[in-house]
A and B are shown apart, each in its own frame.
Chain A
Amino acid sequence: MNKPIGLNSLRSGPSDRGRFGDFGGRFVAETLMPLILEVERAYNEAKADPAFEAELAQYLTHYIGRPSPLWFAERLTKHLGGAKVYFKRDELNHTGSHKANNCMGQILLARRMGKTRIIAETGAGQHGVATATMCALFGLPCTVYMGATDVERQAPNVFRMKLLGAEVKPVTSGAGTLKDAMNEAMRDWVANVSDTYYLIGTVAGPHPYPMMVRDFQSVIGEEAKVQMQQAEGRLPDVAVACIGGGSNAMGLFHPFLDDTSVRLIGVEAGGHGIETGQHAASLTGGRPGVLHGNRTYLLQDDDGQIIEAHSISAGLDYPGIGPEHSWLHDIGRVEYVSATDQEALAAFQLCTRTEGIIPALEPAHALAYVTKLAPALPADQIILMNLCGRGDKDIFAVAQHLGVKL
């Protein structure tokens, strides 16, 4: 899959303890510890098995629809008047987002492990829909935990999951968003250890999840690298992706980590603005701590209590971030910035009108930053942005914010 990675590579992590620098690790209750060690063993065996790779490739091609196209956003580029903007079109995947890449990989692993029940957490519902889809494909019972607030603001995805045969359990603890859904999924896993596989949707959680999800999502960056060579004969100057937990960004960035000429920029959700305290920008506005099995940057108060995140995008509404991002932030390899709800809404509309692509609110955050960055760069520069999800699910929420009654 990958070229051999040298000792000086930024792509060699994590360590045996699941650490990226000081971040990551395995902070789970003893009940779960043997399970995550089992997942790690099974994943390492699968990774070394050409039959697993071939099986995954087969499904990625014929079921998910990979490779996803690389699209030169010409009208947007003209509108912005600066660097050329390319979209990596992961919104064209089956189920409408990059989440399918990881779900397919993990469900094949769960089958290999002989697990007969799948659980997942979801924020925007993209990961829940992708998980429910794979479970339908393989005939596995599926329970998706979703914060009650998100159930309300992502009604179309809730209905999709139910159509696909999944049980959607609304979680009312906390603010009823992604963090609380993840707590509840962990509680389910602890109570159903023998038959259940926990299919985590982002590059967070205890080791090996951050590594495994990154590996399954790296197909995004690997394809983009090849496609960019075909389109422009060179690598992009900048790669941009939005970040909640950070799986689409890790997938895009990881294959470029050792290409020092490529600037990597992660865009966190600025919510109402970093200065208001109502945001989901863990790197910009948080500090290191331990939650959901890993040490990483978290939104927390002075006493180490976790603060609720806020974002218009349910998929970014998480007070933590994948540990590899925390490490890449601290060593300065990736720049992390933020875009507010309002900026994302504006970018959502701009993309729709100039490119005829309705983006999800999540990548609309990445695009919001691109609309600032591109005009500031010369026309011979290239920006590659991961358009990681489509926005059909968001039109009701956007209508509401624009004061339109559907």
Chain B
Amino acid sequence: MSRIAARFAALKSQGRGALITFLEAYDPDQATSAALLRGMPGAGADLIEIGVPFTDPMADGPIIQAAAKRGLAAGAKLAGVLAMVRDFREADEATPIVLMGYLNPILSYGPERFCADAARAGVDGLIIVDLPTEEADLLLPFSTANGLDFIRLIAPTTDNARLPHVLNGSSGFVYYVSITGVTGTVTASVEHLQAAIPRIRKVTDLPIAIGFGVRTPQQAGSAARIADAAVVASALIDTLSAHLDAEGKALAGAVEAVLDQVRGLAAAVRR
């Protein structure tokens, strides 16, 4: 059983949903993001998404755009991101790690070599924002061959006729983009989520995570109950960026401030 499936199965037996926390690799530098990654499981993150910086993050709002820019300025490269995961795995064999990013750096690295190296480093799943089902054959054979979960995005614009098509070949969990918009902007209403999630459940047995616009403990708790997991990203980066000096360097206490926020979110998911 994959780490992702094992984690969701364990949480199900505890009768609660998962908290998925996000960090952008190398934001604002390698050491700070590695410290965040190390600290997140202890603070209550059940799964962790690592954003892979890209120059043109078309699906992201200003908060994650800025994080990607800081990450690139700090020298983030795909190989460096994989090294971060490898280091993390030496101390944590259980927490699933999902890489979220855009296709071009992977194409440049070589899709087959990337999937092999990612699996070896201890990555469990991939979310490639600009790789829709229609183009998935560029990566899917290699992610499957290396045991990586290929996590698909479902949007409010994905109609019922399209759902089975999009979910075909997906594994790990399903990521519901709960708003029509970019990351970190608006929040979906509870009513919208209560209508949307059963629609997806009809066509898949995979766990469903709700992301985009989940910011507060209350929103995370509610999303994790309506679906199977809540993804919190921009709100954590907001906290990190509030703890940077004028040059963008992390101030003392930056990591702890973000981890405190993770603790608050984790408590709400466990309530």
Name the residue on A nearest B132 (C-beta). A33
- Asked if B56 CB lies within 8 Å of chain A CBs, one says yes
B169 partner residues in chain A, CB cutoff 8 A: none
Note all chain B residues with C-beta closer than 8 A to A29. 58-59, 129-130, 132, 153, 155, 177
Q: B18-26, B98-106, B196-204, B224-232: which lies at the A interface?
A: B98-106
Rounded to whole angstroms, the CA-CA distance of A29 and B177 in the bound complex is 10
Report the bound CA distance from A191 to B166 in whole Å.
Answer: 21
Tell me, rounded to whole Å, the shortest Cβ–Cβ distance linking B62 to chain A.
8
Determine whether B159 belongs to the interface, using a CB cutoff of 8 Å to chain A.
Answer: yes
Q: Among residues 10 to 55 in chain B, which have CB atoms less than 8 Å away from a CB atom of chain A?
A: 54-55
- Is there a chain A Cβ closer than 8 Å to B244's Cβ? no
- Comparing A85-93, A108-116, A303-311, the segment that makes contact with chain B is A303-311
A288 closest partner in B (C-beta): B107
**Interface size on B (CB < 8 Å)?**
41
Contact assessment for B154 and A186 in the assembled complex, using a CB-CB cutoff below 8 Å: no
Q: With A26-B132, A27-B132, A290-B103 in contact, do A190 and B108 touch (Cβ < 8 Å)?
A: no
Question: Given contacts A193-B157, A304-B104, is CB(A173)–CB(B78) below 8 Å?
Answer: no
In B114-151, which residues have CB < 8 Å from any A CB? 129-135
Decide: A306 and B55 in contact? CB cutoff 8 A.
Answer: yes
Q: Does A232 contact B (CB under 8 A)?
A: no
Task: Kindly list chain A residues whose C-beta atoms are within 8 Å of the C-beta of B220.
Answer: none
Asked if residues B72 and A305 are in contact (CB atoms below 8 Å), the reply is yes
Contacts of B105 in A (CB 8 A): 303-305
For the complex, what is the distance from the CA of A293 to the CA of B166, rounded to whole Å? 18
Contact code string B64-106 (vs A, CB < 8 Å = 1, else 0): 0100000010000110000000000000000000000011111
Most chain B CB inside 10 Å of its own CB: which residue of A25, A289, A290: A290
Whether B166 pairs with A26 at a CB distance below 8 angstroms is: no
Q: Is B182 an interface residue (CB 8 A)?
A: yes
Distance of A193 Cα from B107 Cα, bound (Å) = 29
Which residues of B sit under 8 angstroms from A289, Cβ to Cβ? 104, 107-108
Residues of chain A within 8 A (CB-CB) of B108 are 289, 300, 302-304
B135 touches A34 (CB 8 A): no
B158 within 8 Å of A (CB atoms): yes
Are B135 and A30 interface neighbours, CB within 8 A?
Answer: no
Residues of B within 8 A of A25 (CB): 134-135
Contact in complex: B132, A190 (CB < 8 Å): no
A183 at the interface (CB under 8 A from B): yes
What is the chain B residue whose CB lies nearest that of A306? B55
B82 CB, nearest partner CB in chain A, Å:
12
CB neighbours (8 Å) of B181 from chain A are 190-191
B61 at the interface (CB under 8 A from A): yes
CB-contacts of A272-300 with B (<8 A): 288-293, 298, 300
Would you call B104 and A31 a contact (CB within 8 A)? no
Q: Find chain A residues with CB under 8 A from B55 CB.
A: 174, 305-306
Give the docked Cα–Cα distance between A302 and B132 (Å). Answer: 24
Asked if A17 is an interface residue, CB under 8 A from chain B, the answer is yes
Partner of A31, one of B77, B131, B155, B159: B155
Bound complex: CA A33 to CA B158 (Å)? 8
> Which A residues are CB-close (under 8 A) to B157?
30-35, 193
Contacts of A303 in B (CB 8 A): 77-78, 105, 108-109
**Are B56 and A304 in contact, CB atoms less than 8 angstroms apart?**
no
A30 touches B166 (CB 8 A): yes
Kindly provide the distance from the CB of A119 to the nearest chain B CB, expressed in whole angstroms.
14
In the complex, A29 Cα to B103 Cα: how many Å? Answer: 11
Bound state CA distance, A33 and B157, in angstroms? 8
Chain A contacts for B159, CB-based, 8 A: 34
A186 to B158, CA, bound (A): 17
Which residues does chain B contribute within 8 Å of A288, judged by CB atoms?
107
B77, A183: Cβ atoms closer than 8 Å:
no
Say yes or no for A155: interface residue by CB 8 A criterion.
no
B182-A191 in contact (CB<8A): yes
Known: A30-B132, A306-B55. A300 touches B104 (CB 8 A): yes
The answer to whether A187 touches B162, judged by C-beta atoms less than 8 angstroms apart, is no
A189 to B155, CA, bound (A): 14
Chain A residues with CB under 8 A of B59: 29, 31, 187, 190
- Bound Cα distance from A9 to B166, whole angstroms: 34
Is there a chain A Cβ closer than 8 Å to B215's Cβ? no
12 contacts between A and B (CB under 8 A): A17-B134, A26-B134, A27-B130, A30-B132, A30-B166, A32-B157, A34-B155, A34-B157, A35-B157, A191-B180, A191-B182, A300-B108
Given contacts A190-B181, A290-B104, 15 further A-B contacts (CB under 8 A): A26-B135, A27-B130, A29-B58, A29-B130, A30-B153, A30-B155, A31-B156, A31-B157, A34-B162, A174-B56, A187-B58, A191-B180, A289-B108, A290-B130, A303-B105
Q: Using a CB–CB distance below 8 Å, which chain B residues touch chain A? A: 54-59, 61, 65, 72, 77-78, 102-109, 129-135, 152-159, 162, 166, 177, 180-182, 185
